[in-house]
Structure formats: structure tokens, C-alpha cells
Amino acid sequence: MVSSFHGLELGKRALTASQAQITTTSHNIANANTKGYSRQQVLVDPSHALSIYTNGKTSQLGTGVLINSIIRVRDQYLDQQYRNQTSGYGEWSIKQETLSQLESVINEPSETGLSQAINEFWDAWENLANHPDSMPARAVITERVQALIDMVKSMDQSMDTITNTLKNKQTNKLDEANHLIDQIAELNKSIKIAGNNANDLLDQRDVLVEELSKLVNVKVEEKNGMYNIKLEDDTSLINGLTVENHLNLNSAMTSGELVGLSKSIETVNDYQTKLTNMVKDLIFGEMTLKIPNSETVITVNGINGLSQLGWSLVEDENGNSLNGAPIFKADPDQFSLKSLEINPDIKNNLGLIAASLRSEQVNGQTKVIIGNGELAQLIASLRLGDANNNNNIGSSFQTLVSQLGEQSNTAMNQLKYQEASLIATENRRQSITGVSLDEEMANLIKYQHAYNAAAKIVTVTDEILDTLINRVAP
């Protein structure tokens, strides 16, 4: 036979369960916009039934409800997928950003870019070839040379700035990653202490692991409720409660923002080297040239070498014409754009720019033949490269630009693809994990009704007991 107070106990259990459900619903609503929060559910089971004797056989009499557990609704598989994709996304977003910065440094196509400066440089030589005795034509050359130098120097400088920013970012992100590793290990501990279903702590830990994954791709294994985190090459970062390794620049990282940063630094460096070599080739690179009106083929070291072959308009103290001066001032062995300058001598004395390949002996003195513009013409012909079609700065720069464009384009497409797949995963995850306010509101009303009904059970039981005690007894 059932106890008279059975109904009261049952009502109390129902009230408790409804209350827990209402509280959890409120918790969900309160955290609807919390990052990484997964909605929680109260799982309830019917409580252990009583066996009662009914007409020759036993039956089960319900005893109400018991709370089984409060869980978070989450799909581990999607978490893993999200972590992998966020690494790729992080890497490509850094790469893409860097390449797009490089594109603005290169500043092409434009009317004011390096390509134009190079064209105008050649035009100036062509002009000198037309007027080999002209000082204004020489002044134009110094202007064009200066413009060319200014342009490549400013590009070089901008690339330095990009590299420095990337390196700073790298240091910061590395600190951030190591800090995250410490925090995750801390959370492992807290979760162990809190025991099963420490839902909010679990959410927090997942958020941190995702942040870490964005920086560097890691392998996450769950063991006894704890996350063991390893790098791709199985270097253990976190094992249970202990942090076994921190990250440094030499850690085996294959994806993530940190990889994006180190690869971007390489890319910038690569373009900087290309730019430097391009200019170095122009100034010092080996060139094979055919002397006009003859079959003579000569090999010189760049424009600087070539410009010294001819005769300038300046004479030494003995009245002999001097050879032309080099156009650029730079060190061929330790060439750097930072120290590149226009030769100050030609700036101070325009006549030192040679245009002529001919000289003659007059009264025992060497004198330039000033109407000869063959050297200037020879230099101007380098516009199309040397006799072997090598050393063409214009086309080298075009190659550089199109290569950069190609790379940047690929990065943009990659980024779009990574973003799209990340969003798809995030949507699927949100679909499972996210709080739907409509759903919570509906639940709230459902649980409110359940609570009201449970309260009614208590009232009814109370009335039954009243009847039993006050009416049945004398």
C-alpha cells in the first residue's frame, strides 16, 4: 500500500525538476550571446517505481521525477572540424593581408609607379643621345635617376615596416598562445575539481582551445575529462594538469596564424630581395652589348660600368677629357637599397655624365668629341635588355608585379574558401549548440505550466490529507 504522503513527495519532486528546468532555461536565455556558450538541458528520469500488489499480480506505481543530469548540447566532431579549419583560416588571413599590403607598396598599375619611373629613366637617356652636348638633357637624367632611387628606396622602406610589424605581431601572438596554454591547463584542473558536467567550464575551455587553434594547429585528445594537447609532430604541450612545453619560434607548427606570420615574413623578404637584385643588376649586373656601327661586342658591369666607358665633358688639370663618372653610388659587394644614392659627383658636375664614345688627340691632349651620343644611345637601348635580351629591368619588374598579383589572388581565393568552410561548420555547430530564444521562451512557458501543475498536486494532496485527518477521524 502506498504511503498517504506519497503525493506530497511526488509533488515536491515535480516542483524541484520544473524549477531546475526553469532555472536552466533562464541560464540559456541569459547566455544567448555569450561566446562559445552551448545551450544546456536538464535531463530527467522517472524516479524508481513502487511495486504494488494489484489483483493477483504486481504493478508499478510511479513515484514522480528525478533530475538525472544537466548537460550541454554539443558535437565533439564539429568542434574538431572547427578547430582544424580555424587554423587554416588564421594562416591565410595573415598571408592575404600581407600580400595586399605588398600590393599597395608596389603601387601598380599606376601612372606614378616604378614602371613609369623606369620608362622615364630610359627616355632621359634617349634625349641625351639626341643632344649629346646638352646640359639640360643631363640635368633631366639626374632628376630621373633620383626619382628612380627615391621610388625603390621608399618601397624597400615600406617592406621593412611590414616586416617589423609582422615580427612584433609574431612575438605578441606567441605570448598569447603560451598564455592560452597555461589557461587551458588551469581549466583542466578546475574541471577535474568540479567533477562531471562542469558545463560552463567546459565551454570556456573549448573557447580557449579554439583561440589557440587559430594561432597554431594542435591535436586535442580528451582523456578522463581532461584535454591533452599536442603539436602536429606529437610534441606534447599539455598533458592532463601539467604544461609540458611552451611554444617558441622553432616549434613544429604547420598551420595557424603563427605559421601565416613566419611565411609572410619570408614572402616580404623574398620580394625585397627581388627588388634589390633587380636594381643591383641594372647598376652592376653583367651586360653584353654591341657597339653601334661596328661588330665589336663588349661585356660591362651594369650601367655604372657602361657610363665609365665614354668620355665626359669635363677635363682634368692637363686639359685631357675625363672618362664618364658612374651614375649610382653603391657598393657592389654589399649592395643595399638603403645606401643607394645618385653619384654626388655627377649631381655637382653634370658634365661628368658621358654621352660620347669618341675622343681624339689634339695637341697631345685627349679631347672628347661632343657630338657623339653613342654611349647615351647604348644606355637607352638597354630599355629592351642587352644584346642577349638579358638584364631588362622593366620586364623583371613586370614579372615581379604579375607574380605578386598571382600570389595575392591565390591568397584571396584561399581565404574565401577557408572562410566559407569555417562559416559552414560554425553554422552547423550553432544549429546544434546555439541558444534559440524562441525555443527557450516556449520551454519557459512549458516548464511554468509544469510547475503550476506540480503545485496543484501538492494542493490536492493537502486537501486529501485534510479530508482524511479532519473528516474521517472522529
Partner 1 sequence: MRITQQMIQQNSLRHMQQNLNRMDSIYNQLASSKKLLKPSDDPSGVSKALQLKSTIKANEQYKKNTNEANLYLDESDQTISGMVKVMQRVRDLALQASNGSNEEKDLKAIASEVKELSEQIRSFANTKVNGIYLFNGHKTNQAPYPESDSYLVDSFDTGAKNYTIAEGIVIKANVTADELFGYSTDESNLFATLNKFVESLQSSGDIPLDEIDSSIDRLLTVQSEIGARKNRVDAISNRVEDINIELQSMLSKIEDIDYAEALTKYKSEESIYQASLQATARVIQLSLMNFLK
In this chain, which stretch among 227-235, 246-254, 333-341, 377-385 interacts with partner 1, using CB under 8 A?
Answer: 377-385
CA distance 276 to 78: 47
CA distance 66 to 62: 12
Q: Quick check: helix, strand or coil at residue 235?
A: coil
With CB under 8 A as the rule, give the number of residues binding partner 1.
65
The correct pick among 68, 190, 399, 452 for binding partner 1 (CB under 8 A) is: 399
Q: Is 104 in the site for partner 1 (CB under 8 A)?
A: yes
Of 166, 102, 163, which Cα lies nearest the Cα of 405?
Answer: 102
With respect to partner 1, which residue has the nearer C-beta, 99 or 327?
99
Query: Any bridge partners for residue 298, and if so which?
Result: 289
Cell numbers found for residue 163: 616586416
Give per-residue burial for 47-81: e unless 16+ CB within 10 Å, then b.
beeeeeeeeeeeeeeebbbebeebbbebeeebbeb
Q: Is 371 in the site for partner 1 (CB under 8 A)?
A: yes
Return the beta strands (E) in 62-197 as ranges. 65-72
The correct pick among 94, 435, 450, 454 for binding partner 1 (CB under 8 A) is: 435
Residue found under cell 601612372: 111
Q: Is 30 in the site for partner 1 (CB under 8 A)?
A: no
With respect to partner 1, which residue has the nearer C-beta, 121 or 284?
121
With respect to partner 1, which residue has the nearer C-beta, 120 or 143?
120
Sign for the pseudo-dihedral over CA of 202, 204, 210, 215:
negative
The correct pick among 38, 40, 127, 307 for binding partner 1 (CB under 8 A) is: 127
CA distance 375 to 298: 13
With respect to partner 1, which residue has the nearer C-beta, 59 or 413?
413
Q: 295 — phi, psi (to 5°)?
A: -95, 5
Give per-residue burial for 161-170: e unless 16+ CB within 10 Å, then b.
ebbeebeebb
Nearest approach in angstroms of CB 130 to partner 1 is: 5
Residues 156-215 that bind partner 1 (CB under 8 A): none
The correct pick among 61, 135, 384, 453 for binding partner 1 (CB under 8 A) is: 384
Q: Is 136 in the site for partner 1 (CB under 8 A)?
A: no
Q: Is 406 in the site for partner 1 (CB under 8 A)?
A: yes
With respect to partner 1, which residue has the nearer C-beta, 442 or 460?
442
State the binding string over 283-302 for partner 1 (x if CB under 8 A, else -). ---------xx---------
Return the beta strands (E) in 278-320 as ranges. 286-290, 297-301, 311-315
Q: Is 408 in the site for partner 1 (CB under 8 A)?
A: yes
With respect to partner 1, which residue has the nearer C-beta, 237 or 313?
313
Residue found under cell 509544469: 450
Q: Is 434 in the site for partner 1 (CB under 8 A)?
A: yes
Of 146, 390, 373, which Cα lies nearest the Cα of 282?
Answer: 390
The correct pick among 404, 415, 422, 450 for binding partner 1 (CB under 8 A) is: 404
C-beta pairs of 28-32 under 8 Å, 24+ apart in sequence: 28/435, 28/440, 29/435, 29/437, 29/440, 29/441, 29/444, 31/435, 32/435, 32/437, 32/440
Q: Is 148 in the site for partner 1 (CB under 8 A)?
A: no
CA distance 213 to 82: 9
CA distance 131 to 153: 30
CA distance 195 to 197: 7
Q: Is 116 in the site for partner 1 (CB under 8 A)?
A: yes
Q: Is 126 in the site for partner 1 (CB under 8 A)?
A: yes
Q: Is 151 in the site for partner 1 (CB under 8 A)?
A: no
Q: Is 106 in the site for partner 1 (CB under 8 A)?
A: yes
Nearest approach in angstroms of CB 116 to partner 1 is: 8
Q: Is 26 in the site for partner 1 (CB under 8 A)?
A: no
CB atoms within 10 A of CB 470: 8
Q: Is 386 in the site for partner 1 (CB under 8 A)?
A: no
In this chain, which stretch among 76-84, 201-209, 217-225, 371-379 interacts with partner 1, using CB under 8 A?
Answer: 371-379
Amino acid at 34: T
Of 329, 340, 355, which Cα lies nearest the Cα of 138?
Answer: 355
Nearest approach in angstroms of CB 334 to partner 1 is: 30
The correct pick among 438, 470, 472, 474 for binding partner 1 (CB under 8 A) is: 438
Q: 51 — phi, psi (to 5°)?
A: -90, 125
Q: Is 462 in the site for partner 1 (CB under 8 A)?
A: no
State the binding string over 62-101 for partner 1 (x if CB under 8 A, else -). -------------------------------------xx-
Which residues of the shown chain bind partner 1 in the complex (CB under 8 A)? Answer: 32-33, 99-100, 103-104, 106, 108-109, 115-116, 118-120, 122-123, 126-127, 129-130, 133, 292-293, 356, 358, 369-374, 377, 380-381, 383-384, 394-395, 397-399, 401-406, 408-409, 412, 423, 426-428, 430-432, 434-438, 441-442, 445
